[in-house]
Chains A and B, each alone.
Chain A
Amino acid sequence: GAVVSQHPSWVICKSGTSVKIECRSLDFQATTMFWYRQFPKQSLMLMATSNEGSKATYEQGVEKDKFLINHASLTLSTLTVTSAHPEDSSFYICSARDLGIAARSSYEQYFGPGTRLTVT
């Protein structure tokens, strides 16, 4: 249980275009989802926290107009990188919290497999 999927797993787009990444909790309801960015050989940096039905909370330094997050249902959150540029190339990972009894810890986050974005 507690599986999170991401789509696509990798994407190449041209500079100036927008790309949407989906994050789905497959077998549980996720009231909260998180989006992280990981540059090569670096750590995961939290970009934003997404709560179902409300606006996302962005971390300091993350442009909310550039990284649009929508959490329209309890199983789906999307991240749209608008007007992408080469410096946006990164590995984007989402995670979700399972508040059900299946969680080993009520604070555990289940991670998706990640999406590798390359902007040319």
Chain B
Amino acid sequence: SQTIHQWPATLVQPVGSPLSLECTVEGTSNPNLYWYRQAAGRGLQLLFYSVGIGQISSEVPQNLSASRPQDRQFILSSKKLLLSDSGFYLCAWNIYADSNYGYTFGSGTRLTVV
């Protein structure tokens, strides 16, 4: 069966520190991968998506970056965190070939920048 793992679940980081959030998918090949951010009391904002290894599309300019070093691995990074980076980060995947398919989401990472 297909599963998605996202870690860590909770993270508290000081302003100016680096960030690395990881997401891996099991049980499927060549998934589309996504990073979303959900600020407190708000909707989901698409940050990055990837349709293949090394292919990253950015939706929102910011101090975050993403990488896809392997087919089923998606990493969200920052060199220096800002207070405004606090939020709930969700990784998701789907299969392009099945256009009716919804997202499968990870369990999320709650990031607090202090």
User: Do they bind each other?
Assistant: no
Interface positions of B (Cβ within 8 A of A): none
